[in-house]
Structure 1
Amino acid sequence: MRLVVTYDVSDDANRRQVYRTLERYGAWRQYSVFELDVSKTERVELEDELTTQIEPTDGDRIRLYRLCEACCDSVTDLGVAPPEEQSNVL
């Protein structure tokens, strides 16, 4: 399944953890936005891991958006294209 993950994490150390975790699963697209291609099991593992890396009491939050096939086919990039060399999305 294709996911877009956005995050807003206040603490620098926690933000780095979130970034590194997401980097293992997918591709950085722009500030605080990743695109992932994961299985259902990987999504559960990812959500569990990310939950431990944020502090909701500090206002931290992460949102995961599932993209259907039609949505994936209609993505439009405006401006500079995302960096492909960092991508591990198939």
Structure 2
Amino acid sequence: MNLVVTYDVSTLTVAGKRRLRRVAKICEGYGQRVQYSVFEVTCSKSDLAKLLHKLEEVIESKEDSLRLYPIHSEDFNAVIRLGESQNLPHDQAWTL
């Protein structure tokens, strides 16, 4: 399963800054950061369930926004990149 994970975590409070770091750390365990709040993830369905559970435990539903976009694996290779960007491998799920 291939996903693009994006998030916007409110950092107006110390607790919000802590949540932002926790969300980023969780996403780092499942994929590759391609921008500050954007990750490309390749995982199994069971790992997706784990990822969602971990993220749901951290985010504050009234202040934060998180989106996961499923995409086809060949679409990662079709991405148009401008500026500082690298083509990252997406041929297998990350091992946790």
User: Do Structure 1 and Structure 2 share a fold, with TM-score over 0.5?
Assistant: yes
Structure 1 unaligned blocks of 5 or more: none
Q: Which residue of 2 aligns with 1:29?
A: 34
- Cα displacement (A) at 1:88: 8.8
Aligned-pair identity (%) = 38
Deviations 1:16-35 (A, max 9, x none): 00000000111110120001
Structure 1 residue identity aligned to 2:40: E
Paired with 2:91 and 2:18, the residues of 1 have a C-alpha distance of 25
Deviation larger for 62-71 or 35-44:
62-71
- Is residue 65 of structure 1 aligned with residue 77 of structure 2? no
Output the TM-score relative to the length of structure 1: 0.85
Structure 2 unaligned blocks of 5 or more: 11-15
CA separation of 1:82 and 1:15: change in aligned 2, threshold 3 A: farther
- Is residue 41 of structure 1 aligned with residue 46 of structure 2? yes
C-alpha RMSD of matched pairs (Å):
2.1
Deviations 1:39-58 (A, max 9, x none): 00000110111011110122
Output the TM-score relative to the length of structure 2: 0.80
Give the 4+ runs in structure 1 shifted more than 4 A: 87-90
Q: Aligned with 1:75: secondary structure?
A: coil
